[in-house]
């Protein structure tokens, strides 16, 4: 695997590109919609919490003001992600074979991010495509601008992430109704 310096550049300012990592980005979660439509006057709660995210929206759309909202995915430290997978019952996540599958890009819901030892530091991490967020572009611009220094994936790793997201998003779950093919025409 190449040196981590090949994967990232450190950037400042509010310019946004696909593959930009944003730490402590505010995300909202609305609670109180247990029934719909809401009875008149029923309150809802809005919880704000902070997540580390990576931009998935296309750089050209961001630069040319073609979008008002930005698509982002959660970035998790590898150990945190591994512990969560094991908690969910995926004991295979602790194996060397699972790490090999991550390196090869064969875990559709996750994309591996190389560690970065220089400031701003990033440990081995994964992008979790199960956790997708959409934020207004002004919010993302403000978070980017407020960061003293942040990481940006370089090409071709930026495109690799985009391709991994596309593969995850475009999966087609077919019914397993072709089992008869296994024995059809056996001699």
Where are the domains positioned within the chain? 7-171
Residue 111, pLDDT score: 98
pTM: 0.88
Residue 41, pLDDT score: 85
| CA–CA distance, 1 with 99 (Å, rounded to integer) | 13
| CA–CA distance, 114 with 97 (Å, rounded to integer) | 18
Q: Are 186 and 36 a contacting pair, CB within 8 Å?
A: no
Residue 40, pLDDT score: 87
Residue 1, pLDDT score: 44
In 3D space, the residue among 54, 50, 47, 49 whose CA is nearest the CA of residue 70 turns out to be 54
In 3D space, the residue among 18, 28, 8, 29 whose CA is nearest the CA of residue 115 turns out to be 8
Q: Which residues of the chain have pLDDT under 50?
A: 1-2
In 3D space, the residue among 161, 151, 155 whose CA is nearest the CA of residue 105 turns out to be 161
Give me 112's structure tokens.
Answer: 């591996």
């Amino acid at each position: 695997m190449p040196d981590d310096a090949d994967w990232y550049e450190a950037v400042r300012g509010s310019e946004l590109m696909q593959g930009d990592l944003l730490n402590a980005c505010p995300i909202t979660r609305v609670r109180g919609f247990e029934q719909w439509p809401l009875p008149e006057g029923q309150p809802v709660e809005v919880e704000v919490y902070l997540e580390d995210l990576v931009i998935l929206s296309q750089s050209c759309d961001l630069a040319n003001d073609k979008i008002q909202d930005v698509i982002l995915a959660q970035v998790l430290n590898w150990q945190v992600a591994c512990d969560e997978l094991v908690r969910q019952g995926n004991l295979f996540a602790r194996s060397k074979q699972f790490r090999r599958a991550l390196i090869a890009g064969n875990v559709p819901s996750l994309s591996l991010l190389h560690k970065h030892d220089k400031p701003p530091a990033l440990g081995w991490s994964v992008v979790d495509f199960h956790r997708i967020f959409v934020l207004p572009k002004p919010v993302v611009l403000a978070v980017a601008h407020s960061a003293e220094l942040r990481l940006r994936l370089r090409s071709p790793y930026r495109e690799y992430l985009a391709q991994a997201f596309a593969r995850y998003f475009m999966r087609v779950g077919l019914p397993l109704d072709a089992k008869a093919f296994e024995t059809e025409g056996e001699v």
